[in-house]
Amino acid sequence: MADTAAVAGKHRTIMGHPPGLFVLFFTEMWERFSYYGMRGLLKLYMVNYLFVTIRQSVQGGSYAAEGDPNHVFGWGMLQKLLPVPDPAALAATIQERTQALLSGGSYTPEIAHRIASETSAVQASASVIYGWYTGFVYLTPLLGGYLADKYLGQKKAVFIGGALMAMGQFLLWGSEGLFFVALSLLIVGNGFFKPNISTQVGSLYPAGDPRRDGAFTIFYMGINLGAFICNLICGTLAALYGWRWGFFAAGVGMCLGLIVQAFGQRFLAPDTLQARQASGEATAKKAEKQQSLTPDEWRRVWALVILCMLNIVFWAVYEQQGNTMQTWADEKTVWPMIGSFQIPATWFQSVNPLCIFLFAPFLDIFWRWQAKRNQEPSSVAKMAIGSMILGLSFIVMILGVQAVGDGRGSWFWPVFCTVLLTFGELYLSPIGLSLVTKVSPRHIISMMMGMWFLSSFFGNILSGYIGQLYTMIPKESFFLLLLVLGCATGLAIWLFNKPLKKAMESSPA
């Protein structure tokens, strides 16, 4: 935008950045608190409470409550569309789960078998629903970005999205029967919120400003601060007082994000709607009609499209963290005690954001050290390295399967695997966000950010179907599959490094 530099310069700076960056930092922090707090509970809630008749009233508690999944609106119809588990694989899973429950000494053989049968039968369906939900969360930003670019402006779109997501969280708290309605509100709300908060970060800086990559690193740390604290709060409330109170806390977090955004408006750069109003609506619309993409801009758009397509498998593997890895953390891991308090399995979801906080600054220093010696990899090369690291991290889980066997084992295996895959994420995700704002043509930037999230849509859908295999094939083979997929994606991105880099070199940013 023409007046971006003026807006960025007229306020004092904080840590060398405009104050608006920190408004967006805390808005996104609370939104991610809301999203990841709910996501950390989602699959366990479906498997151990919502879709079974014998339920855990609190996360991780005993199966002592009765319920009826048919009271969930839409479940009967949706169930017919979901895949049916292989009978032989299901029987083996039920037997394994029954033995694990009996070894705890809390259930009779009949009750243990009933619990194992119900939870195992719904495991694959919950994995697919989880994949579709987390996928649609990244599909709707394409439409939300388009509407913001054309009609709403980024600021209004963020408020609409945040309000819808708060409604969805409170609906999860208040009515288990409207579970799918709540998920729909969260999906639509995220579509308005996600692309338009990210593009506002880039709008704080003029083209060519060297602070932009650092700004996105700071912004990404805000994402992960929210993702870290949410599971300690939402997961703990769900473990002590019941599932619904975890969702309630997630709703409160979203409301806090909206409050930050409301009070920080004056520190933000003008969005597309405000820019049109400032220059005159008629003049702006006339200019917009004449603003078709140039051949150079089309090259940059197609470069981003190809890169997004290659990212799909990365996200499919990465998102097992909240899917099958969370199942492992719940069913196959012995978590330590803090005094008389048993650490809930949902705290596992805080390991990844904690690692990002610990490692991101050192990785930034390392890249600057490489840059001084002209050895820093290109953005695309970094993303290839990230995919390779992600795949190789699952060597830890393969060793963990061999060590744990049929029982439960150390928290070291899922935690150390997550520590390693975090490096892969840091090499890909924030680099990709920054790249989109630098390479995209200015007048379609929110839509292009939505397209970046489109790769996460397909990746999350694929993650749900890959997750089905967790109960159908040996665990060792499952984690080997993730290793192969991650490394193959890294190799594919690396092979496209030179052509993609050449297409992107024409970007003015």
User: Which amino acid makes up residue 313?
Assistant: V
The verdict on residue 4 lying in a domain is: no
Strand ranges in 38-101 using DSSP code E only, listed in sequence order: 54-56, 63-66
Q: How confident is the model at residue 507 (pLDDT cuts 50, 70, 90)?
A: low
Contact indicator for 445, 364 with CB cutoff of 8 Å: no
Contact indicator for 478, 323 with CB cutoff of 8 Å: no
Q: Pick the residue with more confidence: 330 or 46?
A: 46
Positive or negative: CA dihedral 382, 463, 349, 390: negative
Q: Is 370 helix (H, G, I), strand (E, B) or coil?
A: helix
Q: How confident is the model at residue 6 (pLDDT cuts 50, 70, 90)?
A: very low
The verdict on residue 55 lying in a domain is: yes
Stretch 196-215: mean pLDDT: 78
Q: How many residues are listed for the chain in this entry?
A: 509
Report the distance separating Cα 243 and Cα 44, nearest Å. Answer: 10
pLDDT of residue 4: 47
pLDDT of residue 8: 41
pLDDT of residue 154: 85
Stretch 428-445: mean pLDDT: 77
pLDDT of residue 412: 93
pLDDT of residue 1: 43
pLDDT of residue 25: 92
Q: Pick the residue with more confidence: 189 or 151?
A: 189
Q: Look at residue 177 and tell me whether its pLDDT is greater than 50.
A: yes
Stretch 265-276: mean pLDDT: 76
Tokens for 492? 């594919």
Report the distance separating Cα 315 and Cα 482, nearest Å. Answer: 11
The verdict on residue 6 lying in a domain is: no
Q: Pick the residue with more confidence: 245 or 153?
A: 245
Other Cβ atoms closer than 10 A to 439: 25
The verdict on residue 1 lying in a domain is: no
The verdict on residue 482 lying in a domain is: yes
Stretch 105-113: mean pLDDT: 91
Q: Name the domain count of the chain.
A: 1
Stretch 191-212: mean pLDDT: 81
Q: Look at residue 284 and tell me whether its pLDDT is greater than 70.
A: no
pLDDT of residue 109: 93
The verdict on residue 334 lying in a domain is: yes
Q: What angle do CA 475, 478, 484 make, to 5 degrees?
A: 145
Report the distance separating Cα 447 and Cα 354, nearest Å. Answer: 31
Q: Which of 38-42, 117-121, 432-436 has the lowest mean pLDDT?
A: 432-436
pLDDT of residue 291: 62
Which CATH number do you get for residue 299? Answer: 1.20.1250.20
Q: How confident is the model at residue 340 (pLDDT cuts 50, 70, 90)?
A: confident
Tokens for 471? 């109960």
Report the distance separating Cα 149 and Cα 145, nearest Å. Answer: 6
pLDDT of residue 216: 78
Stretch 158-170: mean pLDDT: 96
The verdict on residue 287 lying in a domain is: no
Query: For residues 442-453, b (16+ Cβ closer than 10 Å) or e, as one string?
Result: bbbbbbbbbbbb
Query: For residues 331-353, b (16+ Cβ closer than 10 Å) or e, as one string?
Result: bbbebeeeeeeebbbbbbbbbbb
Q: Which helix (H) or strand (E) holds 87?
A: helix 87-103
Stretch 23-27: mean pLDDT: 93
Q: Is 74 helix (H, G, I), strand (E, B) or coil?
A: coil
Q: How confident is the model at residue 283 (pLDDT cuts 50, 70, 90)?
A: low
User: What 8-state DSSP symbol labels residue 205?
Assistant: S
User: What 8-state DSSP symbol labels residue 106?
Assistant: -
Q: Pick the residue with more confidence: 454 or 417?
A: 417
Query: Could you tell me the pTM of the whole model?
Result: 0.79
Q: How confident is the model at residue 281 (pLDDT cuts 50, 70, 90)?
A: low
The verdict on residue 140 lying in a domain is: yes
pLDDT of residue 483: 96
pLDDT of residue 506: 58
- Tell me the sheet residues that pair with 63: 56
Contact indicator for 233, 249 with CB cutoff of 8 Å: yes
Q: What angle do CA 415, 416, 419 make, to 5 degrees?
A: 90
Stretch 415-439: mean pLDDT: 86
Domain range for 187:
18-277+292-504
The pLDDT mean for the chain works out to 85
